[in-house]
Amino acid sequence: MGIRILTAQMHIEGIQQLDVYRRHGGYEAFRKVLNAMSPPAVLEEVKLSTLRGRGGAGFPTGMKWSFLAKNTGKPAYLICNADESEPGTFKDRYLMEKNPHLLLEGMMISAFALEAATAYIYIRGELFYVHQILERAIGEAYAAGLLGKNILGSGFSLDIHCHPGGGAYICGEETALIESLEGKRGNPRIKPPFPAVSGLWDCPTVVNNVETLAAVPWIIQNGGKAYAAIGVWKSTGTKLMSACGHIRKPGVYEVEMGLPVEEFIYSDEYCGGIRNGNQLKAVVAGGSSVPILPAALILKTAKGEARLITYESLSEGGFESGTMLGSGGFIVMDHTTCIVKNLWNFTRFYHHESCGQCSPCREGTGWMEKVLHRIETGHGKMEDIDLLSDVAKNIEGNTICPLGDAAAWPVRSTIRHFRQEFEDHVNQKRCPFSK
Partner 1 sequence: MEDQRTSFEFDKESLALVEKIIARYPPGKQKSALLPLLHMAQAEAGGWLSRETMDYVASLLKLQPVEVYEVATFYTMFNLQPVGNCVIEVCRTGPCWLNGAEEIIAHLEHRLQIKAGETTPDGKFTLKTVECLAACGNAPVMQAGIKYYENLDVEKIDAFLDDCSSKDATTRQNPYK
Ligand X SMILES: Cc1cc2nc3c(=O)[nH]c(=O)nc-3n(C[C@H](O)[C@H](O)[C@H](O)COP(=O)(O)O)c2cc1C
Contact residues for ligand X (CB under 6 A)?
A: 53-57, 59, 81, 83-86, 170, 172-174, 207-209, 212, 401-403, 406
- Dihedral (CA of 313, 318, 320, 324) sign: positive
CB of 183 to ligand X, least distance (A): 19
How many C-alpha atoms does 60 have within 13 Å on its Cβ side?
A: 17
**What CA–CA distance (Å, rounded) separates 222 from 216?**
10
Residue 177 in 3-state DSSP?
A: helix
CB of 29 to partner 1, least distance (A): 26
Residue 260 burial (CB count, 10 A): 17
Question: For strand 159-164 and strand 118-123, is the pairing parallel, antiparallel, or unpaired?
Answer: parallel
Q: What is the DSSP string of 78-147?
A: EEEEE---STT--HHHHHHHH-HHHHHHHHHHHHHHHT-SEEEEEE-GGGHHHHHHHHHHHHHHHHTTSS
**What CA–CA distance (Å, rounded) separates 399 from 420?**
30
CB of 209 to ligand X, least distance (A): 3
Q: Quick one: what does residue 57 bind among ligand X, partner 1, none, with the CB cut-off 5 to 8 Å set by partner type? A: ligand X
State which residue, 162 or 401, has the beta carbon closest to ligand X.
401
CB of 352 to partner 1, least distance (A): 6
CB of 233 to ligand X, least distance (A): 19
**What CA–CA distance (Å, rounded) separates 257 from 329?**
15
Span interacting with partner 1, options 4-12, 85-93, 98-106, 231-239, rule CB under 8 A? 85-93
Give me the 266-295 binding string for partner 1, x by CB under 8 A, dash otherwise. Answer: ------------------x---x-------
Nearest CA-CA partner of 174 in 240, 122, 134, 223: 122
Give me the 301-340 binding string for partner 1, x by CB under 8 A, dash otherwise. Answer: ----------------------------x-x-x---x---
The residue from 346, 367, 409, 422 that contacts partner 1 (CB under 8 A) is: 346
Residue 162 burial (CB count, 10 A): 19
Residues lying near partner 1 in the complex (CB under 8 A) are found at 84-90, 92-93, 124-129, 131-132, 159, 161, 163-169, 180-186, 201, 242-246, 250-252, 284, 288, 329, 331, 333, 337, 341-342, 345-346, 349, 352-353, 355
